[in-house]
Amino acid sequence: MLSHSQGRVLSRLAEFGEHLDTSWDVPRALSLPGLAESLGLVRSALHQPLSDLEKDGLVSTRTAHVIGGGSRKRTVVHITKKGRKLIEKENLTSKPSNNGIIGPAPVPSEVHGRSSEIERLSEVISNGDSVILSGLPGIGKSTLARAVASHLESLRWKVRWANCSVNTDIKAIGNMWLSGRSLVSPEAIIESTLSKKTLLVLDEVQELHPRHAGSISNLISQASSSMCSVLIVVRAPNPLDLDGDFVEHRLQGLDVESARLLFPEDIDDETAAGVSNSLGGHPLAIRLWSPDEGVPEKSEAVLKYVEKTVIKRLTGEGKKTLDELSLAPQPMSVEEMASDVGIPELDDSAMLKWRDGLTELHHLVRNVRRASWDVQTTSGMHKEAAKKWALLEGDRARKIEAHHRSMSGDEEDIRWIESNIHQISLSDSAVAAVVLENALELEESQILRKEAASIALDRGERNEANAHIDKIEETLSRKILQSRLARLNGNQSLSNRLEEEAISLSEPSQRAKMEVSSIIRRFDDRLPGGLDKSESDKILQIISQVRLGDIPNDERESAILSLELVKYGIALSNSNLQEASKSRAEIESRLSRDDIFLEILDLRARLSARVNGSTSDSSISWSKDLISNLEDPVTRIMAIHSTLEAIGREFPGWLIEAHRECCGYQLREDIPSFRRMSAQRWYWRGVLESANRMSHWNEAISRFRAAECTKAANQLVTILARGS
C-alpha cells in the first residue's frame, strides 16, 4: 500500500513518457529540485518516499543532463513499468494539466492550505469583481493566482496571463494577453480581450519600472471597468495608481496543519510546528529550510533568516552565482552566465525559479541579497557586469549591457549610452526608455534628455515626453520637440506655429530639410481616399517655396525625390496625367531603370484610371501579379495598400489574404514614414476584418497619433463615433 507522499511522487512521474528513461537530455521536472517544487515540498521531503519507492522497484534514479541546467549532470528520477502498472491499478493516474491559459502562466504546482482562498477569490471574480492579491515575496501569491486561474478555467472561463519585469510596457502586456499581437493602444487591447467570463492576470507587478507604470495603470483601470475581471498579483507597495473598485486580498502564511504537508514525513510534528511558527508559515522560507539547521529562532524574521542562515550556508561558488543572478535585470540562460558553477547548489537549495530554459532567483532571496550591498558595491558590480555583456553579440546582450551601464553611474558608461541608445531603441524602445530614466536619475545629460523626449514622442507617450521636454534647455531642439508634442496632443495650430519658429531659427540647410519633412507628413496625414483639392494646392504651393539649393549635395537628391513622390501622388489624385508623367520622369532619373519602386508608381497610375467609374479588371489582375512577385515586405505593403485604396470595396479574396500575410511583418518605429504605414495597415485591418473593427481602428488611431497624423486620427475617431 502506497503512502500519501509515495502516491503523489508516482503520480507526478507518470506524467512523463517512457522515452525519457534513456534520454540524454531530460526536463528539470524530473530532477530532485524540480520534482519537489512541483509537489510543493521541501527538498528533503523526497528522501524517504523516493528511497522506499526505489527499493520496491517502482522508480529508478540515474544521472543525466538536465535541460537548461548547465553542463553538470544531475540526479533524475523515472517511474518504472512496475510503477506505472501500480498507479493504474490504484487509479492514481494524474489528470493532465490544462494548458488552455493564454500567456506565460507558471506551471501549476500543488497548493497546500489555500482551498478556502481559491474558492473565495474565484467567487469574487465570478461575480465580476477585480482583485488585488498582495503579500510578502515568496508567500505564494503567484501559486495561488495560478490555482485560481485553473479553477476558473475548469468553469469555462478564458484566462489571459501576463508577467511583469523591469522593461514591461503596455505593448508587452498586450502581446502576452493576446498571444503575440503587438498592440500599443490600451483601448485596442481591451477591445480585443472583451468577452464574458474572461480573467486578465498581471503577475509580479512590483517589478514594473516607474517609467512604464503610469500607462499600465491606465490600461488596468480601463480593463477593470470593462466586462472582464482583472487579477493583480503584487508585493507591496503597489506601483500602479488605479481607478475603480478592487477587492484587496492580502495573503498570509500557512497555518501549522497546512504547513506540515510541506515537510518530510519523518520530521516529527513538534519540529514541523516549531519551524512553521518561527517562519510565520511562509511557504518559500519553509522550502529553504534544512533539517540540519534545527528550528530557527522564533523572533527571527523571514528576511533575517534568509540572510543569516540560507545565504550563509552557500559555498563561495554558490554565492558568486547568487550575486550574478541577483544583479540580473531578467531571467538568464545558464549559457549566458559568467559564473554558472553554483547553479546546482542554488537549485538544490530551492532558491531558483525556472521557465522556458531561463532561470532567476526567487525574489525573496534576490531582494535580501541586493539589500546587503552598499551603493558603491552595487555600482561596481554593475560596471563589471557591463564589461562581461560587452563581449557578447546580439540585441539581447546590448540591452542587458545598457541596463548595467545605466545603473553604474560611471561617467564612461553615461557617454556609452549617449552613443548607443538610439541603436538600442531600434531593437526595443521600452528598454531604451528605462535605460534613459535610470541614467538620468544618476546624471543629468541634455543629450540623453533629448533622446528620452524623442523616444517618448515616437511611442506616443505625451506625459512622459512633456516631463522630459520641460527639462531641456531653450534651444532649437526643444522647439522642435515642443512642436511634435503639440501635434501629438492634437493642437495643430500650436504645432504649426512652433514648427515655423523652429524653421526660422534654423540654418538654411536644416530649414529646407525640415520643410521637406513637414510637406511629406502633411501629405500622408489622411485616411485612404482622394486628397482635397484645396489641400493639394496648398501643398504644391509650399513645395514651390522650398529652397532645395540650401540642402547639402549629398542629401539634395533624396529631398527632391521625396517631393516628386508627393507631387506624383497629388497629380494622380487630381487625375492630372500630364503632371504625373513629369514627376514620373523626374523620379525615374534618380532611380535605376530596373528599380522595383517604379513599378509601384506605374501600379498607382494604372489603378487611378477608371472604367465606368471603377478600377479595371486588367489593372487589378496586373496588381495581383506584381504583389505575388514582390519580395521586399515594405514595397509589398505599399502595393497592397494602393490596390485596396483603388478598389474601395468588395475586395477579392487574394487581396485580403495578401494583406493578412503582410501584417506579420514588423515595421521599424523610428522611421516616421514606417509609423504612418503601420497606422494605415491597422486602418485597413479594420476595413477587412469587420468583426474586430473597433479594436483595429482604435489601434490605428493610437498609431496615427504617434505618427503625428492628427487629421487622420480625428477623421477615424469621427467615423467610429458614427458607428461606421
The Cα–Cα gap between 89 and 574 comes to 82
Give the C-alpha distances (Å, rounded to integers) separating 537 from 493, 500, 548, 568: 19, 20, 19, 13
Name the phi and psi angles at 105, rounded to 5.
Answer: -70, 145
Contacting residues for 644 by C-beta, under 8 A, at least 6 apart: 528, 651, 655, 659, 684, 687, 688
- How confident is the model at residue 347, as a pLDDT? 92
- How confident is the model at residue 73, as a pLDDT? 86
- How confident is the model at residue 723, as a pLDDT? 75
- How confident is the model at residue 92, as a pLDDT? 65
The Cα–Cα gap between 162 and 166 comes to 13
Peptide bond into 264 cis (omega under 30): no
The SS3 call for residue 255 is coil
Contacting residues for 55 by C-beta, under 8 A, at least 6 apart: none
Give the C-alpha distances (Å, rounded to integers) separating 35 from 55, 63, 226, 292: 19, 15, 40, 21
- If you ran DSSP here, which 8-state letter would residue 72 be given? S
The SS3 call for residue 234 is strand
Contacting residues for 532 by C-beta, under 8 A, at least 6 apart: none
Domain boundaries 316-483, CATH class = mainly alpha
CB–CB of 346/318 below 8 Å? yes
Query: Can you say whether residue 560 is alpha, beta or left, with left for phi > 0 and alpha for psi between -120 and 50 degrees?
Result: alpha
Which residues in 228-318 belong to E strands, given as ranges?
229-234, 246-250
For domain 115-250, is the CATH number 3.40.50.300? yes
CB–CB of 34/27 below 8 Å? yes
Query: Using CA atoms in the order 677, 683, 684, 688, what is the torsion angle rounded to 10 degrees?
Result: 160
Contacting residues for 19 by C-beta, under 8 A, at least 6 apart: none
Q: Where are the domains of the chain?
A: 4-89, 115-250, 256-310, 316-483, 506-590
- How confident is the model at residue 591, as a pLDDT? 87
Q: Fold identical between 4-89 and 115-250?
A: no
Name the phi and psi angles at 552, rounded to 5.
Answer: -55, 150
The Cα–Cα gap between 597 and 652 comes to 24
- The rounded average pLDDT for each run of 10 residues, N- to C-terminus, in the chain (724 residues) is 84 90 90 88 86 92 86 89 87 58 90 95 96 96 96 94 96 94 90 93 97 96 95 95 94 95 89 93 93 79 91 95 96 90 92 91 96 95 96 95 95 96 93 97 95 95 96 94 94 93 91 92 90 92 92 89 94 90 92 86 89 86 94 94 92 96 88 92 96 94 92 93 76
CB–CB of 601/568 below 8 Å? yes
The Cα–Cα gap between 380 and 396 comes to 22
Contacting residues for 622 by C-beta, under 8 A, at least 6 apart: 603, 606
Q: What is the CATH number of domain 4-89?
A: 1.10.10.10
Name the phi and psi angles at 16, rounded to 5.
Answer: -105, 140
10 Å CB burial of residue 568 (0-12, 13-18, 19+) is: buried
- The number of beta carbons lying within 10 Å of the beta carbon of residue 578 is 7
Helix (H) or strand (E) holding 309: none
